[in-house]
Amino acid sequence: MNATCINEIETPCELSKADRDHFRAQGYVKIKDLLSPETLAYYEQAITRKVFELNRTHEIPLEQRSTYDKAFLQVTNVLEHCETVRELVMSPRLGRLAAELMGTRGVRLYHDQALYKEAGGGHTPWHADQQYWPLASDRICTLWLPLQAVPLEMGPLAFAPGSHRFTQGRDLEISDHSEATLARLLPENGYGDAVEAFDLGEGSFHYGWTFHHAPPNRSGKPRHVMTVIYMDVDMRLQEPENSRQVNDRNGWCPGIKVGDIIDSPRNPVIWEA
């Protein structure tokens, strides 16, 4: 345990009105200086060890993989495999920001994911996350936290500003089909493509219904990113609308009945006012 890092991830940071307003109007916001370079480096070591221990996709040549597997190496709920990673995922500093952005009295964990885009890794197709989630409201957001700077050539996360209000394409699973369909639908309906580099220490939050994607990693270095999905502390389970939501209900909301608050052991409170 690193006392300096623990102190930082437990210390609140101020959310500006401009950042809150941008998040609610555009469906996402990028925030600088979420964590110091030293703290990011400390947690990056622990996350990277677990990614390569738990995901063996990196042993398969890129040209032999599906579009999804070319996009990134993915490990979900890393906090269940490493106490050091749990510290970061359960950070009150970051959880409070998510709650203040969404305007909720608190947040609990839906789940976390490490997303590592290898050097030469492919694009992440256009999609919206919430079509996977059996949740009764839109008060859920994802923190995308790069563990290093992400220049344009490394494939930073990119957003369609304001698209959290766009209802077409919400049923599309992330795929080549979602990429082709949304790459047409979004500009046809006036939505742009905000592709920007991320400085060291900068991260983003986006709503579950905000459409986003990422270009391929054309750099010679891997892109290491940790994500945490925060939901309203009072979020309730809704009847799943597709097979993907059935899987998520069984995996991330064990034992919860439709209509009940999602307070299983897998969904601890991260921050509450």
**For the residues 247-265, what does the mean pLDDT come to?**
97
CATH number of the structural domain spanning residue 102: 2.60.120.620
User: With 60 as the cut, is the pLDDT of residue 110 above it?
Assistant: yes
Q: Across residues 153-161, what is the average pLDDT?
A: 97
Average the pLDDT over 228-255 and give the result. 97
Instruction: Write the pLDDT tens digit of every residue in 210-233.
Output: 999 999 999 999 999 999 999 999
Query: Structurally, how many domains does the chain consist of?
Result: 1
- In terms of residue numbers, what domain contains 109? 3-272
Tokens of 150: 């992400």
pLDDT of 121: 87
- Supply φ then ψ for residue 203, to 5 degrees: -140, 175
pLDDT of residue 73: 81
Helix (H, G, I), strand (E, B) or coil at 248: helix
Indicate if the pLDDT at residue 166 is higher than 90.
yes
Most confident of the ranges 48-52, 68-72, 82-86: 82-86
Q: How far is CA 20 from CA 25, 57, 97, 206, in A?
A: 9, 38, 9, 11
**What percent helix, strand, coil does the chain show, rounded to 5?**
35, 25, 40
CA distance 160 to 272: 30
- Taking Cα atoms as reference points, which of 159, 156, 157, 186 lies closest to residue 170? 186
Residue 197 has pLDDT above 90, yes or no: yes
HEC-encoded secondary structure of 3-42: HHHHHHHHCCCCCCHHHHHHHHHHCEEEECCCCCHHHHHH
Please check the confidence at residue 70 and state whether its pLDDT lies above 60: no
**pLDDT tens, 11-52?**
999 999 999 999 999 999 999 999 999 999 999 999 999 998
The sign of the dihedral angle between the CA atoms of 202, 212, 229, 175 is negative
- CB count within 10 Å of CB 219 equals 17
Residue 68 has pLDDT above 90, yes or no: no
| Mean pLDDT (the chain, rounded) | 94
Percent of the chain predicted with pLDDT > 70: 93
